[in-house]
Amino acid sequence: MTGTAVEAVSVLTGWGKGVRALPPDAARSAAGRAVIPLGRPALEGERFRRATRECLLGVAAVDALLRASETSREVVKGSSTALIYVTGGAYGAANHAWVVADTARRGAVAGTLHFPYTAPSVMSGEVAIEFGLTGPYGILIGGAAATIDGLWQATRLLESGRCERALVLAVETFEDCAELYARGRWLVGRPLVEAAVCALLVPGDLRTRYDAPRAPSALETRARTRAGETLACGPLIALALGREDGATGSIGVTGEWRGRRAGLYWH
Amino acid sequence: MSQRAEPVSLVAAGVVTPFGADLDAFWSGLITGSDGISMIERFPVDDLRVGRGGEIKKLRPMPGARRVGCRATQLLLAAAADLLARSPISAEPERVAVVLGTALGGVGELERALAPGGRSRHAVGALYDSPAHALARRLGARGPVLTVGAACAAGATALGHGADLLRADVVDVVIAGGYDALCRFVMRGFDALRSLTRERVRPFDRRRSGLLLGEAAALVMMTREGATRGPRLGRLLGHASASDGSHIAAPDANGRGLELAVRSALEEAGLTPADVDFVSAHGTGTPLNDRIEAEVLRRSLGRRAAEIPVNSIKASVGHTMGAAAALEAVMCLLAGREGIVPYTLGLEEPDPACELDHVIGAPRAARPRISLSTSLGFGGCNAALVLEAVDR
């Protein structure tokens, strides 16, 4: 096998678990709410006591993926699994808290345990620690177009033999700094829907094509209509929707961010 | 077993560092052993344990730069001006990509957004990918714009991603590199972590007691082999990354991730330790990092480790975070071109636990053709680059 395949996708959103929880029309279902939040997952373990909500959401999304695909933790553990993490702004909550705490000179709050969590790489780092992932990584910052870039990088790693499987994880949270997103209305749509989504890519028979289409794919439009604004999670939700329709082979997803649209097609 | 990757040309570079606004100032600062560390003046640090760092005191005025309020973007535009003065972009806008690594993005804008009178544009500017998009707009680049958020290893990963875009023929030119600006956000953070030293930064020295931060931007122009005529700086032969999966803010005690990154990068380059002429170490000057890194280099390079010159430039310009790996890659290529290896400022009494062939006290006359550059970052990020310099 010289190509790749999408083995499974897990979806957690403010609407619930899985794509079946998505409403037909997110805007209508939001009923004027700016943010549809996703609760803090109740994960056991001392280490998770101090971890931020976005870290726990990443862990929960990977855990859901492994359960859905009946893949054991032992299989993904080690250096043969790549982890590609994408987010448009999930680091915002920790950054916001850090600045506010510093401004208020609340030294005890803005302390040693809090600062590392302002780094986007720590979110994927927590996932790597939890699942014992020691393979190649990619950490991309941006909206849906960045996720297409991340998916493409995962296929490159697989095709070049640098890993045996790749997890592409996207997490977005908005509630903690909703006020900032309200100021950047021209950049993001409504409603803002918190999400944590993960796809498992494996070697397969399908080749991929990466390009810059002008128009959104039908799946991109559908994902946005049903899920709302999920930034980097959008293309992975679109993948999940496509698979829900029964597409296990050829499939294409697109994503747009800051005026640039990227597309990836398995064929 | 991964495949050997096609080399990618590194045509030219542009930088802005605490030494000055271009590549010549950077190189002469390194070779003369200048100290780019000073008291930070641009924002309040009086309540912090340590208020020193590699601050850039003056940026050259640029057309339109007055409208750019974001410090990180200003640094990028300054580095781009230096780069373009050396080599203009000759490709269709849709075939030009921008791939940048950063640890902080535009986070300085978040401080402004949350201050009294903060504006909407500050809030958007606080997104970590805002500076990359600002640079792409300035360059007229309409291809992929990627921001790599792999903390202090991000610059290396950005060069690797850029090379992949070229190998896959997605674009013809990639402007890749890294940047980060000093701001209170990060100074306060590293101060809280007690990572900053009150003394001199001393990578691999037995008296080392911590790092100092710096700010910089470093960009390289990348093309496919044979796509550009004329002089070039060198080639990127290999890149690899690996997660530690062990701790969010400290390196793995055994350096497993870094070792895998080094071995994989050499494998991608189709080289062995016998081919390596020079190592640019991450070398932060923190007790843990330097010991682990030295152990990894000894393990992964074997007997050759004792014969390969090693340096760290972090005592000279500070730890420039997202810019560090790109800056160090440029240093590797300049060392090969100029036939001289900068020394590790602050290193006087090598720690026996960090035993390597350190370049101490004065630059060393050597012309490294193949260089290995290592980088580590928060979240257990490790990356390695294998570079080939071109003779002047």
Domains and CATH numbers, chain B: 8-389 (3.40.47.10)
Q: Indicate whether B378 pLDDT > 60.
A: yes
Q: Please, are residues B136 and B183 in contact by the beta-carbon 8 Å criterion?
A: no
DSSP string, A210-266: EE--SS--HHHHHHHHHH-B-GGGHHHHHHHHHHHTT--SSEEEEEEETTEEEEEEE
**Nearest CA among A260, A137, A197 for reference residue A14:** A197
**Helix, strand, or coil (residue B335):** helix
For chain A, what is the mean pLDDT?
A: 94
Backbone angles phi, psi at B136, to 5 degrees: -60, -40
pTM of the model: 0.97
Contact B242 A137 (CB under 8 A): yes
Q: Which residues contact A220 (CB under 8 A, 6 or more apart)?
A: A144, A234, A235, A238, A253, A254, A255, A256
More confident residue, B68 or B248: B248
For B37-46, letters b (16+ CB in 10 Å) and e give: beebebbebe
Helix or strand (DSSP H, E) at B86: helix B71-86
β-pair type (A260-266, A137-141):
unpaired
Q: Please, are residues A245 and A226 in contact by the beta-carbon 8 Å criterion?
A: no
Where are the domains positioned within chain A?
3-266
For A50, other C-beta atoms within 10 Å of its C-beta total: 11
Report chain B residues whose CB lies below 8 A from the CB of A2: none
Residues in B 94-123 with any Cβ partner in A closer than 8 A: 94, 102-103, 105, 107, 110-111, 113-115, 119-120, 123
Report chain B residues whose CB lies below 8 A from the CB of A184: 120, 123-124
End-to-end alpha carbon distance in chain A: 14
CA distance A255 to chain B (A): 12
Average pLDDT, stretch A241-251?
87
β-pair type (A165-172, A81-87):
parallel
Residue B26 is classified by DSSP as H
Report chain B residues whose CB lies below 8 A from the CB of A260: 142, 144-145
- Look at residue B374 in the predicted model and tell me its pLDDT: 98
pLDDT above 90 coverage of chain B, percent: 91
**Nearest CA among B15, B159, A123 for reference residue B146:** B159
Q: Which two tokens stand for residue A168?
A: 């592409």
A58–B contact, CB cutoff 8 A: no
- Look at residue B61 in the predicted model and tell me its pLDDT: 79
Q: Which residues contact A253 (CB under 8 A, 6 or more apart)?
A: A148, A151, A217, A219, A220, A235, A238, A239, A242, A263, A264, A265
Q: Indicate whether A109 pLDDT > 60.
A: no
Average pLDDT, stretch B283-311?
97
Confidence of residue B64 (pLDDT cuts 50, 70, 90): low
Confidence of residue B228 (pLDDT cuts 50, 70, 90): confident
- Look at residue A105 in the predicted model and tell me its pLDDT: 66
ipTM over 0.85: yes
Average pLDDT, stretch A235-240?
98
> Among all residues of chain A, which has the CA nearest to that of B115?
A103
What region, left, alpha or beta, does residue A188 occupy, with left being phi > 0 and alpha being psi -120 to 50 degrees? beta
Contact A183 B120 (CB under 8 A): yes
pLDDT digits 0-9 by tens, B5-16: 999 999 999 999
CA distance B212 to chain A (A): 17
- The 8 Å CB, 24+ separation contacts for B87-91 are B87/B11, B87/B12, B87/B221, B89/B139, B89/B141, B89/B173, B89/B175, B89/B221, B90/B173, B90/B228, B91/B171, B91/B172, B91/B173
Report chain A residues whose CB lies below 8 A from the CB of B143: 212
Q: Indicate whether A106 pLDDT > 60.
A: no
Torsion A38-A39-A45-A48 (CA) sign: positive
Confidence of residue A1 (pLDDT cuts 50, 70, 90): low
Q: Indicate whether B63 pLDDT > 90.
A: no
Q: Helices (H) and strands (E) in chain B — how many of each?
A: 11, 15
Contact A156 B190 (CB under 8 A): no
Q: Which two tokens stand for residue B181?
A: 């600006």
- CA B69 – CA B88 distance, rounded (Å): 26
pLDDT digits 0-9 by tens, B229-267: 777 999 999 999 999 999 999 999 999 999 999 999 999
B287–A contact, CB cutoff 8 A: no
- Look at residue B65 in the predicted model and tell me its pLDDT: 59
Average pLDDT, stretch B20-35?
98
- CA A62 – CA A73 distance, rounded (Å): 10
For chain B, what is the mean pLDDT?
A: 95
**Helix, strand, or coil (residue A139):** strand
Residues in A 221-250 with any Cβ partner in B closer than 8 A: none
- What's the Cα-to-Cα distance from A110 to each of A205, B177, B185, rounded to whole Å? 50, 31, 11
Q: Please, are residues A4 and A147 in contact by the beta-carbon 8 Å criterion?
A: no
Backbone angles phi, psi at B311, to 5 degrees: -140, 170
Q: Supply the residues of B annotated as catalytic.
A: 152, 282, 319
The beta strand positions in chain A, using DSSP E, are 3-13, 16-17, 35-36, 81-87, 137-141, 165-172, 192-193, 195-204, 208-211, 251-257, 260-266
- Look at residue B123 in the predicted model and tell me its pLDDT: 85
CATH numeric code, A3-266: 3.40.47.10
pLDDT digits 0-9 by tens, A11-60: 999 999 999 999 999 999 999 999 999 999 988 888 888 899 999 999 99
Average pLDDT, stretch B65-79?
88
Q: Indicate whether B119 pLDDT > 90.
A: no
Report chain A residues whose CB lies below 8 A from the CB of B257: 134
- CA A133 – CA A135 distance, rounded (Å): 6
Contact B145 A122 (CB under 8 A): no
Contact B127 A89 (CB under 8 A): yes
Q: Is A27 exposed, middle or buried (0-12, 13-18, 19+ CB in 10 A)?
A: middle
- CA A2 – CA B201 distance, rounded (Å): 48
pLDDT digits 0-9 by tens, A136-155: 999 999 999 999 999 999 99
Contact B260 A134 (CB under 8 A): yes
Contact B192 A131 (CB under 8 A): no
Q: Which two tokens stand for residue B375?
A: 């980088």
For B378, other C-beta atoms within 10 Å of its C-beta total: 24
What region, left, alpha or beta, does residue A105 occupy, with left being phi > 0 and alpha being psi -120 to 50 degrees? left
**Nearest CA among B296, B271, B303 for reference residue B282:** B296
More confident residue, B171 or B115: B171
Q: Indicate whether A210 pLDDT > 90.
A: yes
CA distance A214 to chain B (A): 12
Q: Indicate whether B75 pLDDT > 60.
A: yes
Q: Indicate whether A102 pLDDT > 90.
A: no
- Look at residue B274 in the predicted model and tell me its pLDDT: 98
